[in-house]
Amino acid sequence: MKHNGITPFARVSLVRLEVFNPTGVIEVTHVHAPRLADLHAKTICELSNNAWEAARTFPLIRRLLKERFPDATLIPYTEFPLGSSNIDTDRIGHLVKEKGGQAVITGNAA
């Protein structure tokens, strides 16, 4: 039987749909790691994606940091993989930990 040109369903079944956020967004509870009070006696690792003159900028940054924090240890970017395609964030995190890194300098230009 039709009502206004529409055939009604004899029974309505409820359908449960589970929808996932396609953006992949997850809840962020900490925006950044806790900040260090200072860099005295800290091990600082340099990371470079090799995009902008790391060979020129990191030595200057290293020198300036050593002047201000002479007891800090700086591990040069050359001791880590270079280039964004070679940097796996999990692997870099492990390498920084292995070297005793307590701070990281990354993205020093452009």
- Picking from 103, 99, 96, the residue whose alpha carbon sits closest to that of residue 32 is 103
Total length of the chain: 110
**pLDDT tens digits for 45-77?**
999 887 778 888 899 999 999 999 999 999 999
Model confidence, pTM: 0.67
- The reply to whether 9 falls in a domain is no
- Picking from 97, 96, 98, 64, the residue whose alpha carbon sits closest to that of residue 106 is 96
**pLDDT tens digits for 21-53?**
777 677 777 777 788 999 999 999 999 887 778
Residue 63's domain comprises 43-106
Distance (Å, whole) CA 101 – CA 43? 5
How many structural domains is the chain composed of?
1
